[in-house]
A = this chain, B = another copy of it.
């Protein structure tokens, strides 16, 4: 293993274990044992366990958001359908055998103080996710893109939370149906042109 890969490997291992057991329950000794790395090495790359957690969350944040963007944008060009496609992306993540809930919500649950750096990192991730929804809602020319984004966001969080407890993927489909129903009743700034200005027809 090349030297530059060790850091990535440590982050991968840590993320996997944090997801499986949680942050407090995952000890440094377990991480280095699973990564097959000496403790000295870990502490050469990360000053403290908290630093490791923060680096892991940063990595995961970028991965998640990039993956959602890529999934959604190759799925359809219509902004409304893109808003709905975010739930399909959610479904793929929930169907993963390793799914045990949103790692950022878990991080916030284990670090409840709002000034805790881990809490703030989770908050930042959620803000960025919300910003993406707002971007899509704006592109869809909804009259109140901020409110639409907040509603989509709330449905996402609800679907993931229910899936975390029930360990089934149905809540993500349910949330999508609810989103479609709600969006259908929403005002748009300009009525969508019939017959294609870049995307297919708006959601029914």
* A154 to B158 Cα, complex, angstroms: 5
Stretch at the interface among A6-14, A49-57, A109-117, A132-140: A109-117
Q: Is B122 within 8 A of A165, CB to CB?
A: yes
Which of B25, B154, B165 contacts A178, CB < 8 Å? Answer: B154
Cβ proximity bits A1-43 to B, threshold 8 Å, 1 near / 0 not: 0000000000000000000111011000000000000000000
| Chain B positions within 8 Å of A100 at CB level | 112
* A7 to B20 Cα, complex, angstroms: 33
What are 6 A-B pairs at a CB distance below 8 A?
A: A24-B110, A106-B109, A114-B167, A151-B174, A154-B171, A157-B158
- 3 shortest interchain CB distances as A-B pairs: A158-B158, A24-B24, A157-B161
In the complex, given contacts A108-B165, A178-B178, what are 14 additional A-B residue pairs having Cβ atoms less than 8 angstroms apart? Answer: A20-B112, A22-B109, A22-B112, A24-B110, A100-B112, A123-B165, A150-B171, A151-B178, A154-B155, A154-B159, A154-B174, A154-B178, A155-B155, A156-B158
